[in-house]
Chain A
Amino acid sequence: MIKEIMKDKYASIAFIILVVMYLMILFADFIAPYSKDFSDRNQSYAPPSKIFVIDENGKFSRPYTYNYKREFVPELYQAVYTLDKSHKYYIKPFNRGEEYKFLGLVKTNIHLFGVDKTGRLYLLGTDINGRDVFSRLLFGGRISLTIGFLSLFILFPIGLIYGGISGYFGGWVDNIMMRFAEAVMAIPSFYLLIILAAILPSNMTSTQRFTLIVVILALIGWSGFARVVRGMVLSIKNEEFVSAAKTIGASNLRIILKHILPQTTSYVIIAMTLSVPSYILAESGLSFLGLGIQQPDASWGNMLKEAQEYINILYRPWLLTPGFLIFVAVLSFNLIGDTIRDILDPKGKIRE
């Protein structure tokens, strides 16, 4: 499969981008110069650090940066950041910084790059609390890029079994089960999403909240999927191998799980890759509204929340970076999904 994806020009680029993204979030603690909670209150909304490779004498030098000095200019009613040229901070590879557990196992304080303790290196500026946007993007990606997958692993088994039972038994069972699924589909999904997210109690730990949001995302998507599976099961159950299984005396559950549902595998793979993006979007939308992942945890959606203010989007464009990342991730998933569909279903037989 991967070989065939790599044959397509766009899909191969998308694939590489996603691999890089997932590697980066996996090694986020190591790559990020700061932890997600590191904040310097005196550096709120500091612009991205300027990195110099040519020093004041016009010679090449190791990359270095200056800290920012923050001054309040009364005439402008705002803080202005100027370079404090008194001290050069060289950017060091494998710099010793805050302590963390590498992959959650080994305690260490070595980061891929960084500057000395008194220096500040903000590749993409800082947010309102003076936290490094670049580091938070990496940690936020951990949530934004995995939450959709986790929901899918809850949603697909539910949809498969629900659609399987409904289609296999038919008659009144089918009737009742499908009416219920249609009713869930009749509620505008985003409305349902925000309501479910809003009734979550506010005193939860961030892990609890994360888990419940995964569940909520799964709750809104299973019905459409179950309906398609049911349609497929309806046509599969009249095949000879199903009658054969019945003749041997296989139980209904066994027939559904072992004989019928495996026939839907291609569809499931296609539907899964094509629906990852919509869950990434749903999570970010939810967090953007302040109903999803809460501060101080980072997710690309809640980082974009700050970009809602006019001042921020006009003077602090680095706050928009999470939006670009969501866009790139979703685009890559779409391109790969399309290619996988072409590979598994070249004639376009499977319809959603």
Chain B
Amino acid sequence: MNIIKYILKRIIQTLPLLFIVSIISFFIIRLSPIDPLAELRLNPSISQETLQKETQRLGLDKPIPVQYAKWASSFVRGDLGVTSSGERVADKLKERIPNTLLLTSIVIFMTWLVGVPLGILGAVFHKSQFDRLLTVLSSIGMAIPSFFFAILLLIFAVKTSLFPVGGLTSFDFDEMSLGGKILDLAKHLVLPVTVLFTISLSGLQRQMRANMLDVMDSEYIKFARAKGLSEWQVIFKHALRNALNPLITLLGFEFAGLLSGAALTEYVFQYPGLGRLILEAVMKSDINLVMASLMMGSIMLVLGNLLADILLIITDPRIRGVGK
């Protein structure tokens, strides 16, 4: 029962957060010198009627607080307006967000699968040659600019033609069998995943190693050893569980980092994700699209943090205890 209460409390806390985020992003964009409808006006295929509707929807003729209220209420109702090329923003987002989520969840899953064991190994063999090597490798991984690494992989892909370059699916995707479709998706995902994986793996390995070293230094580990437990049991039964908790908090941050890192990677690989969408929108100063994708990015980030916190509430009983 207690757990549910805490989770609910945590969920309610995110609402004011999103409210402030929306105000910040609204004012950044509305106070900028860009006319939100400039592109629409220039596009001959947009009818005067649509323009009128947009002006009304955004309340451009009214003071800024009213504009905000109008924008927020239509956002909550799911009406995000149209892009400068006349498509509905909501459709565009619906198409792009799953792609970004797919990319980031594969990357997070893989980094945890590889990074946590490597972190443990680094800590267990602290100061050995192996640990040294891992540290050097992770320093290198952290230092490669994502877009530069992406370019290097592009050269590799173009030279060997092992992997398709750009997009998420081949042009004949619809005619493929299910197995062929999965293979095609996987082939397109290899390069972007490699870039993001390398960069986030290094960070996670370091963090896990640091946590583990921290825990291995504590009294109860000494006690467990004194009790005569095998090193194996000490590490996996006692140390690991406590070393993982701070990592769960980090999961939220990792998600944030990936959303940002993904933008550049998506751009280089022409991957149809949210990051590239917002970039293109920014370049075309397509205000509706920028606002909506900025908000969606923030919502995804907040939800990611929320999820991490809920996981932590479940795994770490101390957090539930503190509130009492």
Contact = CB atoms under 8 A, between A and B. Distances in A.
Interface residues of B, number: 53
Contacts of A194: 263, 278-279, 282
B21 A304 contact: no
A190 B282 CA distance: 12
A313 interface: yes
B281 to A, nearest CB: 9
Given A288-B264, A308-B268, A326-B148, A314 B159 contact: yes
B143 A330 contact: yes
B322 to A, nearest CB: 15
A58 interface: no
Nearest to B260: A190
A163 B95 CA distance: 40
B151 A323 contact: yes
A191 interface: yes
B143 A313 contact: no
A179 B20 CA distance: 8
A186 B267 contact: no
A327 B17 contact: no
A190 B154 contact: no
B214 A310 contact: no
B151 A190 contact: no
Contacts of A290: 283
Contact of A179 (B17, B143, B159, B268): B17
The dominant DSSP class at the B interface is helix
A19 interface: no
Interface string A148-161: 00000000000000
Contact of A188 (B147, B155, B290, B298): B298
A320 B147 CA distance: 11
A3 B143 CA distance: 25
A185 B210 CA distance: 24
A187 B229 CA distance: 47
A326 B149 CA distance: 11
Given A183-B17, A191-B263, A194-B279, A331 B143 contact: yes
Contacts of A188: 256, 259-260, 263, 297-298, 301
Contacts of B154: 310, 313
Contacts of B210: 348
A38 interface: no
Interface in B246-294: 256, 259-261, 263-264, 267-268, 275, 278-279, 282-283, 285, 290, 293-294
Q: Specify which of B148, B283, B298 lies most central, judged by the most chain A CB atoms within 10 Å of its CB.
A: B148
Given A284-B145, A304-B147, A334-B143, A191 B293 contact: yes
B10 to A, nearest CB: 13
B110 interface: no
A147 interface: no
B139 A195 contact: no
A195 B301 contact: no
Contacts of A310: 154, 158
A186 B21 CA distance: 7
B239 interface: no
A92 to B, nearest CB: 35
A172 B139 CA distance: 41
A310 B159 CA distance: 10
B24 A183 contact: yes
Nearest to B290: A195
Interface stretch (A26-34, A131-139, A196-204): A196-204
Interface string A306-348: 0110100110000010010011101100110010000000001
Contact of B282 (A187, A195, A281, A307): A195
Interface in A203-241: none
A204 to B, nearest CB: 12
Contacts of B139: 331, 334-335, 338
A194 B267 CA distance: 13
A10 B143 CA distance: 15
B141 to A, nearest CB: 10
Contact of A285 (B28, B152, B264, B294): B264
B319 interface: no
A281 B285 contact: no
A250 B38 CA distance: 56
A331 B202 CA distance: 13
Contacts of B267: 289
A289 B278 CA distance: 12
A142 B171 CA distance: 44
A190 to B, nearest CB: 3
B124 interface: no
B145 A191 contact: no
Given A190-B259, A327-B144, A348-B210, A198 B283 contact: yes
B28 A10 contact: no
A313 B268 contact: no
A320 B151 contact: yes
Interface in B202-237: 210, 213-214
A195 B294 contact: yes
A277 to B, nearest CB: 7
Contacts of B183: none
Contacts of A308: 151, 268
A190 B264 contact: yes
Interface stretch (B29-37, B67-75, B77-85, B188-196): B29-37
B28 A199 contact: yes
B140 interface: yes
A331 B148 CA distance: 14
30 contacts: A179-B17, A183-B20, A185-B256, A187-B21, A188-B263, A188-B297, A188-B301, A189-B256, A190-B259, A190-B260, A194-B263, A195-B282, A199-B28, A199-B33, A199-B34, A277-B142, A281-B145, A285-B146, A289-B267, A304-B148, A304-B151, A307-B151, A310-B158, A320-B151, A323-B148, A323-B152, A326-B145, A327-B145, A327-B148, A331-B143
The 9 closest A-B pairs by CB, nearest first: A190-B260, A199-B32, A183-B20, A323-B148, A331-B143, A330-B143, A198-B282, A188-B259, A188-B297
